[in-house]
Amino acid sequence: MAIKRLGDPIATAKESGRLSPDEVVGPTRPSDVSAEKAPAKAAAPSKAEAKGKGKPGRRAKVIAFANQKGGVAKTTTTLNLAVAFAETGHDVLAVDMDPQGNLTMSQGVDPDKVEKSMFDVLVHGMPIAEIIQKREIDVGVASIDLAGAEIAMSAQIGRERALEKALEVVRGDYDFVCIDTPPSLGLLTVNALTAADKVIVPVQCEYLSMRGLVQLQNTLHMIRENLNPKVEIEGILPTMLDSRTVHAKEAVEILEENFGDKVFETRIRKAIKFAEAPVRGASVLKYDPDGKAAGSYRSLAKEVLTHGS
Ligand SMILES: Nc1ncnc2c1ncn2[C@@H]1O[C@H](COP(=O)(O)OP(=O)(O)O)[C@@H](O)[C@H]1O
Ligand SMILES: [Mg+2]
């Protein structure tokens, strides 16, 4: 099963001890589910839940979408998976933690014209409910000044927990909170990973993209040790797959050899619809509801709903 590939970056990293399989794969999915379901049922509703106007006892599952490489479909996956959850009757909040504001833009909101944004939430402690805009899903919008948030937050006590704190108040109102992150492992991404229960890692199917996974693993390890012991990878998502090329097929095989069942069964193929939809300020599920592109994110939603907690 484990075909040895000489010169493969992930295999080399594993051998040199930079990437331990246990650390990478973590507990298997079935035990994830049982370990998390039991306490969730027994736990008393928190203050935030009591305040929440949602269903009693509800507590959103928070998923961060992370990969420090740009252009791997983080934003596309955050939005389309969030909309796929909403299509199945879930209340969903998508949070844009990227100063580029692509998620915000993809829902037809211009980050240059936004008055109140995640910047105010993170830096000034503004309640997140005040900056949420209702689109296909609820969006915690970004504005360009989010680019200055890391510096503005750097002297704050508890700077890594600003997002976690902000979300606590609204977790009773949603079933899922999906957090889009910037292409770096800086303070904004650290905030997302600290607030998250799970991480979904979109990976473009080529060797160079996969190298970055080692660095992300190291960051996650540090987050678990220092800030959020429970956070773990929900799954690794092969994106922008051009199944006609041998290279892409091999890249997916290497992912599966190294990450086992952490690799989602769903694959997101290359499709022009993904580039067209954001221009219309819509998800692919809205822009081309019956297309294959939309179907692939519905299938991902099904996988997460089936395997997750
Ligand atoms: N499956 C896909 N096929 C083709 N283009 C895609 C696909 N997924 C995303 N894109 C496009 O690739 C670009 C980068 O995607 P994006 O989600 O913004 O990546 P990231 O957030 O990781 O930087 C965008 O223009 C997006 O529309
Ligand atoms: Mg992005």
CATH no., domain 50-304 = 3.40.50.300
Average pLDDT per 10 consecutive residues for the chain, totaling 309 residues? 39 42 36 39 44 75 96 97 98 98 98 97 98 98 95 96 98 98 96 98 81 88 98 96 83 88 95 97 98 98 87
The values of phi and psi at residue 199, to 5°, are -125, 130
> What Cα–Cα distance (Å) separates residue 188 from each residue in 104, 140, 226?
16, 14, 16
Helix (H) or strand (E) holding 232: strand 232-239
Q: How big is the CA angle at 77 (ends 69 and 132), to the nearest 5 degrees?
A: 105
Domain boundaries, the chain: 50-304
Q: Are 77 and 239 in contact (CB under 8 A)?
A: yes
Ligand whose nearest atom lies closest to the CA of 278:
1
Ligand 1 pocket at CB < 6 A: 70-76, 102, 183, 239-240, 268, 270-271, 274-275, 278
Q: What is the pLDDT, as a whole number, of residue 308?
A: 64
Q: Are 66 and 233 in contact (CB under 8 A)?
A: no
Q: Are 97 and 181 in contact (CB under 8 A)?
A: yes
Ligand whose nearest atom lies closest to the CA of 202:
1
E runs forming strands in 56-159: 61-65, 92-96, 132-134, 138-140
Cα–ligand 1 centroid distance for 77 (angstroms): 8
Q: What is the pLDDT, as a whole number, of residue 53?
A: 57
Half-sphere exposure of 43 (CA within 13 A, CB side): 14
* Polymer length in residues for the chain: 309
Alpha carbons 68 and 258: distance in angstroms, whole number: 19
Alpha carbons 192 and 256: distance in angstroms, whole number: 26
Cα–ligand 2 centroid distance for 51 (angstroms): 32
- What atom of ligand 1 comes closest to residue 241's alpha carbon? 1
SS (H, E, C) 160-218: HHHHHHHHHCCHHHCCEEEEECCCCCCHHHHHHHHHCCEEEEEEECCHHHHHHHHHHHH
Ligand whose nearest atom lies closest to the CA of 205:
1
What is the residue type of 138?
D
For residue 260, what are the contacts with CB-CB under 8 A and spacing of at least 6? Answer: 25
